Structure 1
Amino acid sequence: MARAAVMGAADGSPSRTDEPVAESAEVRGAPVRTTSRVVWREVATALASAALGGLAAVWALRLWAAHLNVPLVGSGDALLNLMLVRNMQLTGWFQSTPLLGAPIGQDLRPWPVAVGDIWGLLSLKVLSLVLSPAASVNVFFVLGFPLVAAVACLCFRGLSISRPISVVLGAAYAILPYHFQRSEPHLFLSVYYAAPIGCLVAMWIYTRQVDLWRSPRLYRWREYVVLASAVVLIGGGMYYAAFGLVLALAAALLRAIGERTVRPLATAAAFFVIVVAGIGLAALPNLLYLGSADADSAAVTGRSYAASEFFGLKIVNLVLPAWYHRIPALADLRAVTGESVIPGENTETLGVLGLVGFVAVLLAVLVPVAAHRPLWRRRLHPLGVLTVVALLFSTVAGLNSVAAALAFDQLRAWNRMSVNIAFLALAGLAVLIDRGLHRLGRRWPVARRPLARAGVAAVVLGIALFDQTGPAIRPDYPHTSNAWNADADYFQQLEDRYGAGAAVFQIPYSDFPEAPPVVSMAPYDHLRAYVHSDLAWSYGSVKGAFTSWQQVALSEGIPSTLPKLVGAGFQAIYVNRNGYADHGVAEEAAIVATIGPQVPFVNPDNTLAVYDLRPYASRLRAEGAQIPSLDQVLHPVRIEYGTGFFAPEADATKTWRWGGARADAVILNPTDDPVDVMLTGSIVVADPRADVTVTVGADEHELIVVNHVATLAIPVVAPPGTTPLAFVTDSAPTTAPGETRDLRQQIIDLHLSPLD
């Protein structure tokens, strides 16, 4: 008896029997021609799923109330995506703009934002040729629903799921809670079409349906699909590429062990090489920059073992309903998980359809069965195997944490593998539905009719719409539109006052990218100014050497800062009052005391204030005051933070960085002469008896800890170039609810002041 077909009949439709079927010519290795008629039928099937997924999204989001040129979300990370599109419109590509990071300009090469998302960026580029930044982002996001549905539908068909069920489950997959919760702030993550592709390739490898080891002359359509899939994964999202590679390599390893052959490993290796080489090519501008003399410290921080645990997948989040569920009791059930000290991103919900499939595929792996399993059980088994693999890699303290412990910690948010698990679970559900319809058809022939299958599909889609969507996911269109239009008017008036290209300095200082909120000022909030005007703004340079001059300029207070801003060519200073605990009162009082009485230009909600520096600059020049040169402002003696330091934090009275047991930095003197400076600040530790040592160059200074605080005042002669700076303590860590970092020392208000 020939080997049984594992996934169904050779033509892609479900087998009509639970008995082993004859091996087809395709399984034996002979090439099989795919007719154009078959291809067009599959295309039509995918388009039907795309239409259904798109209509479901329109209904769930009530998109008829939206405005094309107003983003669905106008704050937070959504501003970052609007920035990328505006960069494309101004300079041709997303990696630079002269209107951010003034007076230097923005250069995004230190930040690998493009790596893994090249297809999304190219799509935004095309849209930006004819649409505004807001419209480009809106269209991209909305089209993501039919795209995900179509690709998922084709992948279900690749697993021999019947057409009606593939269509409806493709649409259900496109409206996972994950999609709505990612939304426009996580624009590229929201278009997760690459996830089912990775699952399909892994399934084909595990079930021996693809073999790249054979001669290309004998390749079947599946081999060509795998090669095309590798190209798609190159630019379909770094996370989804990584998840697909993990599943493919695991499937190949398990099959190789089971059959004692390297052929599956060869297929997975070829797939791996294509994907990794393509991602490396996309990262070439970043890699070339990192190898250049201008390379600065990495712009991406917060990647660590602790972060991988914090952002790991939680099975409880998979199986419980979404936090916004229509049934209050179910929403309350999910709310209980908010008490976790590591809540993560909280976007993993499978929904009731996915939950049924999830249980089914796990039982197919865990429950002992007879040697001769029915076909539908054999179809569930590989889905369950890959689901177990996904859980082992993605769950909190799983294999992802092992990788992080080995320093592979750049991919920290493994909870995002939930979309791979959701696809495998829905595929398991599809097997059950097809099996049920087949058995019903044997007993009641009416169940075989297309109308009956359409009825089942309608019920499935109805369940998905009820369970996976809800009023809470709909954007507040009137509020967003009013805020967006008010900003547009305000910043246009600013541009009219100062002229296009005029430089405006923004406070409070905030790192870019990936910075925490500053008091009540949300991350990326300074970008509101850029997306609405042609003025040049100080915010937006990648943190590190590009922005250190701003921190130095602000470190000695407003009276010392303003002459430097004049020297750097700034014509105004912009205050985001939400970034201060006192709503900017003290900072603005210092500005007025320095530049003289002036009524600021304030936005309608009284959160933004702009002060004109031009009269002040004219007065300084008329008085013959010493104004620093641009070179002096941009290249001060400064501290650059390195290994062991965490991102900066601030409150109304101080700024600080947490450090580990050892935190390293350097004092950078960009001039050609030694400079005398005073290193000041304080170090707070949890253990009042701890030793605290600061080493400057070769000089070691043991500090005295009083009431948990060590005061720092060290004169330093900084030679040209860099001087190593190390902070070491044996203190126990400082702990707090939900805190996952190893916080050994809090280094507060660390400054270098020139000594006359």
Structure 2
Amino acid sequence: MFLRRFAPLFCLAALALAIWCGFTHRWTLEAWRTPLQLHGDPLEIYTRVQAAAEDLSQPLRGYSVLPRLAAPLEADWSRYPVSDRVVFTLLGGLARVAGVFAAVNIAIALTHVLNALGFYLVARFLRWRHEWAMALGLLFAFSSYNFRWGVTVSFSLSFVVPLLLLFCAWVARSAPAIRPRGWLWFGIALGAWFGGANPYLGFFAAQLAAGAVVLQLLRRRDFARWRVGLIFVLVTGLSFLLHNAAYFLSPAGAAQRLTLVRNYAGAEIYALKLTDLLIPPMEHPLAWFNELGRAYYAQSALRTEFFINYLGIFGILGLVLLVVAGIKGMVARRSARLPDAFLGLCWTLLFSAVGGINSLLAFAGLDVFRASNRNSVFILVWVLLFLGAWIQRRWRPRSLAWRWALPALIVGVGVFDSLPKLRVHRMLQHNATELAHNAALAHALEQRLGRGAMVFQLPATVFPEAGTVVRMTDYEHFLPYLLSDSLRFSYGALRGTAASRSIRALSRLPTPRLKQELEAAGFSALWINVRGVPDQAGPLLTELRALGLEEFPQKENPDVRIFLLQPQQPPRPLDLTNPAFYERWDVITALTRPEIVVLDGWYDLEQDGNRSWRWARDVATTSLRMPTGGRVELRFRAYSLEPGQLVVTCRGREVYRHIVSGATRDLRTIELRLPAGRHPLDWRFTGRVTYPPAPDGRELGFAIEDLSVVPVDQPPPRS
């Protein structure tokens, strides 16, 4: 009885696993230990798993203490929203046994199995026949969305989406509730999961449940049903707040609360487009479909997350059937004939499309949930459920062979249509070779430097989402961390934090002083990825060799140069409040000259010929360092997009006030008499902060151009 009841589940799981292993060539232990993707965003996922393996409590604590990153300090990612904490904790435990890459590969395989089972269980609850529940479950599991997001683990854990839509259908149903207690606990469990899962899915899941409550109130007003839906929304919101408490409770004056760059432009770029659902990928196995995808990619202006949302030919067929049924229901003017899935489809497009409701929310300031294109997974489930129900009503052959023949054919064609044409075997061989070489380099370096030695990495890029730097892909600095046992690396400090600022400031020092500061801080080696530095880091390498630094001999990675340092014992701790570790206003000046550094509120430096300027919103701060006391003149040009008053204060004392606008470009001076030391200068603008013309998405208030400081008591030193 047990085997007969659960045999379809085991068969479906085995089929899903076999399809995934067959496509990704996972037939050997070596293949399981090798990632299919080794560059870009997957490296961050591997790093999270590695950090969890080193300390299983890290995901649950929001990765608040990462001692091997952001050296000589410790990385703190608690202000970086983390989803699926329990999942990454389990992955960390698995990585302790199998290794990071094998653990992630196992997770990807299990995710596909879970997605197939989740859809199957919902279909069986709806009284589908086994063959169609299994067939459509496999189409869902190996959809373009689930396969392409697989390595992220978080985005591809979509097995709960069919369960959610079943739950919402129960809440909205126009019938008296029977035994609602089970649905109540089911809703609480779902809400707890969605609140801690990927925030995009959780945000939209709460909307759908709220919509189901509204439908129930419009239809029957069954208290048991709408109460369960409302409890789900509340539990989802509470779970989300608990999982992101470190972000929401961070003090107002702390470093950037949200470390990701978000604005309205992102809501347009990552919005859902109807074409994304319909146009096949340029890696499609069929040449004609392949050309369609290439043409779409070449002509599109918004080049982000291509082909992830492709529904597949059977998903598109389900979409057409659902739209036709919805139109018929509207023409008949009978709400009972209007499918709930059609209402959900309309809301998803209205909310998620370019210029839709999500874009309006982003324009109003709620730009955290910018990537509404990821809501396509809800459309995918609706259209597959509708397609399966439509086929079952029309396909009732008596022969057992014919019963299974059409579902099997649909699975074969659908999976072939969804999975990209990749040279998987060659990719695995290339990645295995690259991993072996980098692991050998990391091991040799660790043997030479000793356990726990610190390595400073250049270029010093921000984390997360730095993008490609020259030719170095994002997160590439994580690779030696993943392949070493105890070495500490400078990369990984959260952007906007004092640690990130100080590490990047160190990297901008002149080469002789860089060597001096790194050795004083206790660094044992300087790691340079020449693909991330202009001119292949030629001038920098020449200067380091001129200083007599020993180069670590290695042939494993031709893009990396490593120079050995003599770490000071004991090392000198970094003073994160020292303006010397903040970015200088313009160029690095002589240490004996008064200098200006950026403290807070300024955008990056912009230059045009001999002109240089920085924009700010309404409040920004610089610091003036005086080696000796005396009188100085602060010289600058100030202007703004909208008229307003600019006030400058030094230690609370007002030293300048003037009306600025787009036409005020005259040179201004402020004479100050200051003692030796560091003096903060606060710049406050009272005008309206606004947006410049597209494509610049920043909020701008005022700009300061050609800012300089000149001593008055004695002639300025020669350049």
Q: Aligning the two structures, in what range does the TM-score lie when normalised by the shorter sequence?
A: 0.7 to 0.9
Conserved in 2, the CA contact under 8 Å of 1:680 and 1:751?
yes
Q: Counterpart in 2 of 1:566?
A: 519
**Is 2:395 the partner of 1:431?**
no
Aligned-pair CA distance for 1:123: 2.5
Q: Counterpart in 1 of 2:350?
A: 392
Written as runs of structure 1 = structure 2, the 5 A alignment for 1:272-421 is 272-287=233-248, 290-291=250-251, 295-338=254-297, 339-346=299-306, 347-368=308-329, 381-421=339-379
Q: Counterpart in 1 of 2:578?
A: 635
Q: Counterpart in 2 of 1:537?
A: 489
Aligned-pair CA distance for 1:159: 3.5
**Is 2:57 the partner of 1:106?**
no
SS in 2 for 1:724: strand
Q: Assess, with a 3 A threshold, how the Cα gap between structure 1 residues 734 and 286 changes in structure 2: closer, same or farther.
A: closer
SS in 2 for 1:64: coil
Q: Assess, with a 3 A threshold, how the Cα gap between structure 1 residues 57 and 740 changes in structure 2: closer, same or farther.
A: farther
Aligned-pair CA distance for 1:640: 6.4
Out of 442, 467, 488, the residue aligned to residue 516 of structure 1 is 467
Written as runs of structure 1 = structure 2, the 5 A alignment for 1:661-676 is 662=617, 664-667=619-622
Take 2:122 and 2:204, find their aligned partners in 1: how far apart are those partners? 16
Q: Counterpart in 2 of 1:84?
A: 48
Aligned AA for 2:86?
Answer: W
Aligned-pair CA distance for 1:482: 0.8
Q: Counterpart in 2 of 1:495?
A: 446
SS in 1 for 2:504: helix
Conserved in 2, the CA contact under 8 Å of 1:659 and 1:746?
yes
Aligned-pair CA distance for 1:495: 0.8
Take 2:671 and 2:562, find their aligned partners in 1: how far apart are those partners? 37
Conserved in 1, the CA contact under 8 Å of 2:498 and 2:576?
no
Aligned-pair CA distance for 1:723: 4.7
Q: Counterpart in 1 of 2:585?
A: none
Q: Assess, with a 3 A threshold, how the Cα gap between structure 1 residues 263 and 657 changes in structure 2: closer, same or farther.
A: farther
Out of 118, 121, 126, the residue aligned to residue 93 of structure 2 is 126
Conserved in 1, the CA contact under 8 Å of 2:247 and 2:258?
no
Aligned-pair CA distance for 1:690: 11
**Is 2:537 the partner of 1:584?**
yes
Aligned-pair CA distance for 1:47: 3.5
Q: Assess, with a 3 A threshold, how the Cα gap between structure 1 residues 708 and 558 changes in structure 2: closer, same or farther.
A: farther
Take 2:400 and 2:630, find their aligned partners in 1: how far apart are those partners? 84
Q: Assess, with a 3 A threshold, how the Cα gap between structure 1 residues 105 and 462 changes in structure 2: closer, same or farther.
A: same
Aligned-pair CA distance for 1:485: 0.7
Take 1:203 and 1:643, find their aligned partners in 2: how far apart are those partners? 48
**Is 2:188 the partner of 1:227?**
yes
Aligned AA for 1:58?
Answer: C
Aligned AA for 2:289?
Answer: L
Aligned-pair CA distance for 1:655: 14
**Is 2:562 the partner of 1:610?**
yes
Deviations 1:533-589 (A, max 9, x none): 221111111122122112332334223322221221112211111111201112222
Take 1:704 and 1:230, find their aligned partners in 2: how far apart are those partners? 52
SS in 1 for 2:80: coil
TM-score (normalised: structure 1)? 0.79
SS in 1 for 2:14: helix
Deviations 1:140-159 (A, max 9, x none): 11211101111121122334
SS in 2 for 1:522: coil
Q: Counterpart in 2 of 1:7?
A: none
Aligned-pair CA distance for 1:657: 10
Deviations 1:645-689 (A, max 9, x none): 47x9999x99999857x3643347999x9999999999999x9x9
Aligned AA for 1:460?
Answer: I
SS in 2 for 1:107: coil
5+ residue gaps in structure 2? 583-596
TM-score (normalised: structure 2)? 0.82
Aligned-pair CA distance for 1:419: 0.9
Aligned-pair CA distance for 1:599: 3.5
Q: Assess, with a 3 A threshold, how the Cα gap between structure 1 residues 321 and 715 changes in structure 2: closer, same or farther.
A: farther
Which one is further off, 335-344 or 462-471? Answer: 335-344
Out of 203, 216, 219, the residue aligned to residue 255 of structure 1 is 216
Conserved in 2, the CA contact under 8 Å of 1:658 and 1:743?
no
Conserved in 2, the CA contact under 8 Å of 1:111 and 1:299?
yes
Which one is further off, 156-165 or 175-184? Answer: 156-165
Conserved in 1, the CA contact under 8 Å of 2:690 and 2:699?
no
Q: Counterpart in 2 of 1:162?
A: 129
Out of 5, 18, 22, the residue aligned to residue 59 of structure 1 is 22
Aligned AA for 1:182?
Answer: W
SS in 2 for 1:300: coil
Aligned-pair CA distance for 1:529: 1.5
Could you tell me the percent identity over the aligned residues? Answer: 24
Q: Counterpart in 2 of 1:471?
A: 421
Aligned-pair CA distance for 1:704: 11
**Is 2:171 the partner of 1:205?**
yes
Out of 145, 153, 159, the residue aligned to residue 187 of structure 1 is 153
Conserved in 2, the CA contact under 8 Å of 1:390 and 1:417?
yes
Equivalent pairs, count: 680
Deviations 1:38-96 (A, max 9, x none): x9877544443332222222222232376222222122122212211221232333313
Q: Assess, with a 3 A threshold, how the Cα gap between structure 1 residues 173 and 712 changes in structure 2: closer, same or farther.
A: farther
Q: Counterpart in 1 of 2:200?
A: 239
SS in 1 for 2:163: helix
Take 1:753 and 1:278, find their aligned partners in 2: how far apart are those partners? 56
Aligned AA for 1:461?
Answer: V
SS in 2 for 1:458: helix
Take 1:135 and 1:628, find their aligned partners in 2: how far apart are those partners? 37
Aligned AA for 1:343?
Answer: R
Deviations 1:573-629 (A, max 9, x none): 111111112011122223233x32644544434211111121xx68xx9xxxxx994
Q: Assess, with a 3 A threshold, how the Cα gap between structure 1 residues 260 and 232 changes in structure 2: closer, same or farther.
A: closer
Conserved in 2, the CA contact under 8 Å of 1:549 and 1:634?
no
Q: Assess, with a 3 A threshold, how the Cα gap between structure 1 residues 318 and 729 changes in structure 2: closer, same or farther.
A: same
Take 2:78 and 2:210, find their aligned partners in 1: how far apart are those partners? 31
Aligned AA for 2:73?
Answer: I
**Is 2:508 the partner of 1:555?**
yes
Q: Assess, with a 3 A threshold, how the Cα gap between structure 1 residues 142 and 675 changes in structure 2: closer, same or farther.
A: farther
Q: Assess, with a 3 A threshold, how the Cα gap between structure 1 residues 370 and 517 changes in structure 2: closer, same or farther.
A: closer
Q: Assess, with a 3 A threshold, how the Cα gap between structure 1 residues 456 and 224 changes in structure 2: closer, same or farther.
A: farther
SS in 1 for 2:98: coil
Q: Counterpart in 2 of 1:455?
A: 405
Take 2:533 and 2:76, find their aligned partners in 1: how far apart are those partners? 28
Aligned-pair CA distance for 1:194: 2.6
Conserved in 2, the CA contact under 8 Å of 1:357 and 1:425?
yes
Conserved in 2, the CA contact under 8 Å of 1:351 and 1:464?
yes
Aligned AA for 1:456?
Answer: L
Q: Assess, with a 3 A threshold, how the Cα gap between structure 1 residues 612 and 238 changes in structure 2: closer, same or farther.
A: same
Take 2:91 and 2:607, find their aligned partners in 1: how far apart are those partners? 35
Q: Assess, with a 3 A threshold, how the Cα gap between structure 1 residues 628 and 536 changes in structure 2: closer, same or farther.
A: closer
SS in 2 for 1:138: helix
Take 1:503 and 1:680, find their aligned partners in 2: how far apart are those partners? 41
Q: Assess, with a 3 A threshold, how the Cα gap between structure 1 residues 104 and 299 changes in structure 2: closer, same or farther.
A: farther
SS in 2 for 1:298: coil
Aligned-pair CA distance for 1:259: 4.2
Conserved in 2, the CA contact under 8 Å of 1:519 and 1:579?
yes
Aligned-pair CA distance for 1:385: 1.2
SS in 1 for 2:525: strand
